[in-house]
Homo-oligomer: A and B are copies of this chain.
Amino acid sequence: MTSRPTMADVARHAGVSLKTVSRVVNQEPHVSAPVQQRVQAAISALGFRRNEAASRLARRATMLTLGLIMENISNEFYSRLAKAVEAAAAEHEALVVFGSYEERPERERMLVESMYARGVDSLIIVPSAADHGWIGEHGGLTAVFVDRVPPGLEQADVVLLDDVRGGRIATEHLLARGHRRIGLISDDEAFSSVHDRACGYRAALREAGVPVDESLVVREVFDPWRAGQEVTRLLSLADPPTAFFATNNRAAIGILQALRERPERPAYVGFDDFALADVFNPGVTVVRYDVTRLGRSAVDLLLDRSDTPRRVEVPVELVARGSGELPPP
């Protein structure tokens, strides 16, 4: 049986890219007259017949706009994620519309609805800690969740970091340098990512036979200023920590700032790499991951629909730069 010729066959025959064939078939601009003629000749020679449904889909794909909803585009983690999503989307000729909800779940919902109302029904969401059951009410809406599991949605596609391992390797790294009193500067543990990083921290301590001292664990640190305050407070304890692990890069800023003012030199490991991490002296040891992979996986899941929910886990690694290798005093 001879199969019907495809656009790829036409492209090969005409010696042009698949994209060029698609442009000619869909009567899009940016194809020169001679190339158009060559493609048309190949179409005639092979007896290629445009499949209307497939073509419509292809066209829609070329006009696709993805939505990206996150906390705050100006935070380095989010701007790097946005870049990664944009790059992956561009390979599908898709554009990206973005929105920041700034820790306000009602604004997150408003952004989803606002995008949906504009016909943007393929969304990548870094979810807030609020219940997301309402997403199901929007027929035809496709969402992939990044970095955190959305509360209240059992059947969601998610792209997560290996957060438990991240918390674990950060803590093990400090334990291996002899630290036993390790402070944890944590965010909101209602976020699965933060929760899992803290779990990794506890697991590593437990396995090393070091009891978790709850007086060294600080939760709900949302901004750099507060992180600095808490580090200063912990360093003033009678039996202070000799090392810190922080669950995000916002905390890192405040902690580094606070340590500038202190005589102690506690070790420090952060979660999330940042552009200036190796410009500090000592360089900042961090748990790092491939943000490009995070963004690309989300776009891949979004464009390759499935009826069963999927979970992609992006690996993490520790990058030693100096701050995490400082010994206990």
Q: Point out the residues of chain B lying under 8 angstroms from A95, CB to CB.
A: 97, 99, 111, 114-115, 118
Q: Point out the residues of chain B lying under 8 angstroms from A170, CB to CB.
A: none
A99 touches B73 (CB 8 A): no
B74 touches A79 (CB 8 A): yes
Render A269-303 as a binary contact track against B, CB cut-off 8 A, 1 for contact.
Answer: 00000111011110000000000000000000000
Task: Say yes or no: is A184 at the interface (Cβ < 8 Å to chain B).
Answer: no
Q: Point out the residues of chain B lying under 8 angstroms from A73, CB to CB.
A: 73, 79, 82-83, 86
Q: Which A37-72 residues have a C-beta within 8 angstroms of B?
A: 56, 59-60, 63, 65, 72
Task: Say yes or no: is A76 at the interface (Cβ < 8 Å to chain B).
Answer: yes
Q: Count copies of this chain in the complex.
A: 2
Segment from A1-9, A193-201, A214-222, A253-261 that makes contact with B: A253-261
Q: Point out the residues of chain B lying under 8 angstroms from A80, CB to CB.
A: 74
A63 touches B281 (CB 8 A): no
Q: Point out the residues of chain B lying under 8 angstroms from A76, CB to CB.
A: 74, 76, 79, 275
Q: Which A116-139 residues have a C-beta within 8 angstroms of B?
A: 117-119
Task: Say yes or no: is A100 at the interface (Cβ < 8 Å to chain B).
Answer: yes
B279 touches A63 (CB 8 A): no
Among residues of B, the one whose C-beta sits closest to the C-beta of A67 is B95
Q: Which A residues form the contact surface with B (CB < 8 A)?
A: 26, 29, 56, 59-60, 63, 65, 72-76, 78-80, 82-83, 86, 93, 95-100, 110-111, 114-115, 117-119, 253, 256-257, 260, 274-276, 278-281
| 8 A-B pairs in the complex with CB atoms less than 8 angstroms apart | A29-B110, A56-B117, A56-B119, A74-B82, A78-B79, A79-B82, A253-B276, A279-B280
